Amino acid sequence: MSVRVRRVYDPPEPDDGVRVLVDRLWPRGVSKDAARVDEWPKGLTPSTELRRWYHAGEGPYEEFARRYEAELTDPEAAELLDHVRELAAKGPVTLLTSAKSPEQSHTAVLVRLLEADQH
């Protein structure tokens, strides 16, 4: 299973495989052609409320990650997570985000969950 994270602002690379945008909002200043997004499962992203809570600095990353992981147990989100897992089992998947620090964002939670499933 090959899952990696890249910023959506970076140019696509040949080894990206399936490019999955994992942000709820379309990134500013990026055209759909330039982004080359294959899938955009909005139901897999943090809720608007959780995203606003975290970006307002109301809690630490660890609490955000815990709350987001709980949101991923929702049937729609769980189904979308399974879909990305299936894509990754077939070939490379690149999770795209506009987050300035992907390692301190929801993408890190997604990667951790996807990688935990391969063991």
pLDDT in tens, 38-81: 999 999 999 999 999 998 888 899 999 999 999 999 999 999 99
CA-based nearest residue to 63, from 76, 54, 74, 73: 54
**Which pLDDT value is given to residue 119?**
43
pLDDT > 90: what percent of the chain? 84
pLDDT band at 97 (very low <50, low <70, confident <90, very high): very high
pLDDT tens for residues 55-66?
888 889 999 999
pLDDT of 4 over the 60 cut: yes
Strands (E), 8-114: 18-21, 93-97
- Stated as kind and residue range, the H or E segment containing 116 is helix 106-116
